[in-house]
Every structure is written in C-alpha cells, then in structure tokens.
Structure 1
Amino acid sequence: MVNATTASSLAEASSTIHLDDETRKKEIVASLRGFLKHQTERVSLYKEFNDAFKEYIGKRMTQEEYATICRIVTEGFVELSVEILALEAHLAGTPNAVSTTDSNSAASSSVSQRLSLNSPEHAQLIRAVQLLEKEKLALTVQGQKWVLAMEEQKEQDQKDREEELAADRVIAVSGSDANSRGDASASGDGDASATVGEAEVEPTEGDSAAPVTGRDQMTVKHSVEEWQIKLDENRDRLNQVIEDINDKLADIQEAIAVIVL
C-alpha cells in the first residue's frame, strides 16, 4: 500500500519535466546570463543610490527628494532579488511551478509542471554573489550613516569654535576696559574685576546651553577624526567585498564559457 507521502513524491516526480542534456545546458546558460543581466541592473541602482547621497550631502538635494530616491532604489533591489531567487531555484532544481494547459481536457484544466535543471553547483555561484551583495548593501548604508554623523559632528565643532571666539572677544573687550581704568580707585578696580569675572563665566545671551551641550556630546559621540577612521575601515571592507563579487562574477562567466564550448 502506498502511503500519502510516497504518493505525493510520485505525483511530483511525474509532473517534473526532464530535459535532454543539450536543452538542459542551454537553460543553465540562459539562467546564468539572466543573473548577469540582473547584476548589471543592480550596479546601476547602486550608482543612483550613491549619486543621490552625494547630492544630499552637498545640499543640492532636499531630504524629501533623497528619501524618494531611496524608496525607488529599495523597490528596485527587492524586484531584482525576487527575480534572482527564482533563477537560483531554477538552477538548483526547485523552481516555481510553471502552469501549462492540457488541451485534451474539456475543461482545459491547468497542469502544474516543474522544470528541473538539477545544477546546484551553478546555483551556488549565484548564492555566493547574493551573500556578498547583502554585505555590500549593509556596508553602503552603514557608511552613509557614518558620513552623516561625521558631518553633524563637524557642524557641532564649528559651532563650538564660534561660541568660544565670541566668548574670547567679550573677555578681550572687558579686559581692555579694565586696563583703561587702571588709575581708578580701589573700589573701581574691584568693580572691573567683577565685570571680567562675569564675562568669563556667563554664557552669551540666547544660547546659554550650547557650549555645554557640545562638550557633553563630545563625551558620548566620536570626534571627526574617529569617524574618519571608521569610514576608512568601512571603505576598505567595502572595496574588498566588491573585489570578491567581481571574482565570483568572473567564475560565472567562466562557467558559461565551459558549457558553451
């Protein structure tokens, strides 16, 4: 007696299309070339993504415009991933069902069939690129976040310097006034000292907490130099990943050449 599991396996096997060797090779080549085409499209999306970020950092693009580009690029990445996963499954021998019509049936019922290439070694080539692309995207997004953080720190540092210069000018003016009254009475000297003291400790009007906030941020945030080190490390790793991707793509090109020849 055939149990349900065995019956299901037999049914699946009977609905699988087994190709002759020549047709199978053509399908494998078509799948690999299809992946390379998608990879070219992915590179174009990355360029659009990076170009938009440069425009945004250069203040030539608004935040809303940049967010729109990010959304469009993300949708493009998702669409490509779906297509690539289908190609990978197709090569591995577990593709999506292909619907065909049984012309002998009066009801023209749909028969689900599977096209099995049974080429896991070629599917693995695509999988290797996909894993590297996942890391590449993570590094790219991380790098952009760090650039924004570094730019924010630069602005904060500049603001702190301007406030320090303003405070120094107040002290210098107060000191000059005190020197001009050098021959004043002892009580007058005391008043001048009090004025200098107040100028040294009182913050400028309207932005009293800014210098303190800046110093507090420096204790919990990275300095510009530290951000730059992190960005350099990110860039080095990203370049290595891109190099690894190119090596894997070369392997795919070689695999195609071997099959064609």
Structure 2
Amino acid sequence: MVSTKSVSAASAAAQAANEAASALDTETRNEEIVSSLRGFLKHQTERVALYKEFNDAFKEYMSKRMTQEEYATICRIVTEGFVELSVEILALEAYLAGTNNNSTDTVSASSSASWSSATSSSSEPAPPRTRSLINSPEHAQLIREVQLLEKQKLALTVQGQKWSMEKVAQEVQDQKDQEAEQHLDRVIDMEQEESPASSEPSTQPQLKLSVAEWQSKMDENRDSLNQIVEDINEKLADIQEAIAVLVL
C-alpha cells in the first residue's frame, strides 16, 4: 500500500517537473523570438544595401556613366531582391504572430540555424517549424510597423527618382527653348528693321512645371523621405530594446 507521504512526494516531484518544463518552454520561446527579431534586423541590413545599389545606379545613369539597359538590369535585380526579402520577412512576422496557414512553415536561414542548434547537435537540416508555437503578436507588430514604413520609403524613393528625371528633362527643354527664343529674337529684329509696324508672335501658355517647381517637389520628397528613415530607425531601436529585454 502506497503511503500518503509517498503520494505527496510524487505529486511534489511531478509539480516541480512541470514547473521546470514550463520554464524551459518559456526560455525556448524567448530564444525563438530573439532569433526571429535578429533575423529581421539582418534582413533590414540587406535591404539597406539594396537601396544603396538602387540609388548608386540611378546616380550613374543620370550622370551618363551607365546605359539605360544597364540601369534597367540593376532595377530588375534590386526588385527581385526586395521581393525575396519581403517573403522572408513575412514568414518571420507570421511565425511570431502564430499565424496558421497551409504554406511551408520554414523561415529565414538565420532563424532556422538557431532552431537547429536549439534542438539538435547534428549538422542535418532542421525540420519545419509550427508557427503557432510562438504566438507573440506584440513582436510581430514591431516588424509590421517597419514594413509599412518601408513601403512608404520605397514609394518615395521611386517618386523622387522620377521627379529628378522630370527636372533634368525640363532643364534640357528650357535650354532648347532658350536657344530657339534667341534665334527667334534675331529673326524678329531683322523683320522689325524691315517693317517696324509688324506685330510680335503670341506666346503659347506654359503647361509643364518649371525647373524651380520640380525642385520644390523634390525638396518636399526628400524631407518626407528623411522623416520616414527617422521613423524606421526609431522602430528598429524598439526591436533592439525588445531583444535586450528577452536576453536578460
């Protein structure tokens, strides 16, 4: 017959084991959150590099040191890079949020490596993860906020490049118009010498924006872009802070 003392001891041991398992689960969960957030920061660094390549190519193209075909190739490569990063980041966000779907539950390489080291000491690839294990919407929201800002940043970057090209085109057109006007003035002067009473030709209304107006729009675009970058940096600081809290 089992004594009451033995039953109590067994119950206490079971409770201690459950508490230990619970603590281990929490620790593992925190490690996965940290790994996912660090994975996102790594992708963010890669995104910054893509922006640099994009902007550098545009400068080269505008300075006539890159052909239109070469510039188009860079744009295609950068676009593909942005798409790949977006897929990886969405996977991290879904994993943190505990989103269930029918897609493959693999995430970024950096996060997968952390998962592998936490579950096995072998060099074999880690098995797919179940996203519902994490269920940390507050950390997923941190990534979502950066993503929304990055969407605005990309739109402003493309818009700024378009407006820059419009400004340059207008400068070229203004130069042509100025040369044409100078030629026309010489013709008018010659005609007035022969017939002083002749009327001057009517001028056509200017429909396009002036160079100054394009510059003003570009300045507004730059200010908006700088503000977006500042907001992104603040959100990234929040993510760094969240990581610091979890690793304490």
Range class of TM-score, shorter chain: 0.7 to 0.9
Contact 1:146 1:227 in 2 (8 A): yes
Deviation at 1:172, TM superposition (A): 3.8
Deviations 1:20-73 (A, max 9, x none): 111111111000000000000000000000111111111111111111111000
Find the counterpart in structure 2 of residue 259 from structure 1: 246
1:71-86 alignment, distance < 5 Å: 71-86=76-91
Deviations 1:182-220 (A, max 9, x none): xxxxxxxxxx329x959x65xxxxxxxxx97xx45x22x
1:63-102 alignment, distance < 5 Å: 63-94=68-99, 96-98=103-105
Identify if the C-alpha distance between structure 1 residues 254 and 152 changes in structure 2 by more than 3 Å, giving closer, same or farther: same
1:49-128 alignment, distance < 5 Å: 49-94=54-99, 96-98=103-105, 114-115=130-131, 116-128=133-145
The alignment covers a number of residue pairs equal to 203
- CA distance in structure 1 between the partners assigned to 2:105 and 2:178 by the alignment: 67
Deviations 1:154-205 (A, max 9, x none): 1111111000111222344556xx5xxxxxxxxxxxxx329x959x65xxxx
Contact 1:146 1:231 in 2 (8 A): yes
Deviates more, 1:241-250 or 1:223-232: 223-232
Find the counterpart in structure 2 of residue 228 from structure 1: 215
What letter corresponds to residue 22 of structure 1 in structure 2? E
RMSD between aligned residues = 2.5
Tell me the TM-score normalized by structure 2.
0.75
Structure 1 alignment gaps of length 5 or more: 1-17, 100-110, 179-191, 202-210
- CA distance in structure 1 between the partners assigned to 2:188 and 2:128 by the alignment: 86
Identify if the C-alpha distance between structure 1 residues 92 and 22 changes in structure 2 by more than 3 Å, giving closer, same or farther: same
Identify if the C-alpha distance between structure 1 residues 30 and 222 changes in structure 2 by more than 3 Å, giving closer, same or farther: same
Q: Write out the 4+ residue segments of structure 1 that deviate beyond 4 Å after TM superposition.
A: 95-99
Structure 2 alignment gaps of length 5 or more: 1-21, 107-126
Tell me the TM-score normalized by structure 1.
0.71
Deviations 1:120-177 (A, max 9, x none): 10000000000000000001111111111111111111111000111222344556xx
- CA distance in structure 1 between the partners assigned to 2:31 and 2:128 by the alignment: 22
- CA distance in structure 2 between the partners assigned to 1:32 and 1:197 by the alignment: 77
- CA distance in structure 2 between the partners assigned to 1:40 and 1:32 by the alignment: 13
- CA distance in structure 1 between the partners assigned to 2:234 and 2:160 by the alignment: 23
- CA distance in structure 2 between the partners assigned to 1:63 and 1:224 by the alignment: 23
What letter corresponds to residue 170 of structure 2 in structure 1? Q
Deviation at 1:98, TM superposition (A): 4.3
Find the counterpart in structure 1 of residue 35 from structure 2: 30
Contact 1:97 1:114 in 2 (8 A): no
Select the residue among 142, 145, 148 that pairs with 2:159: 142
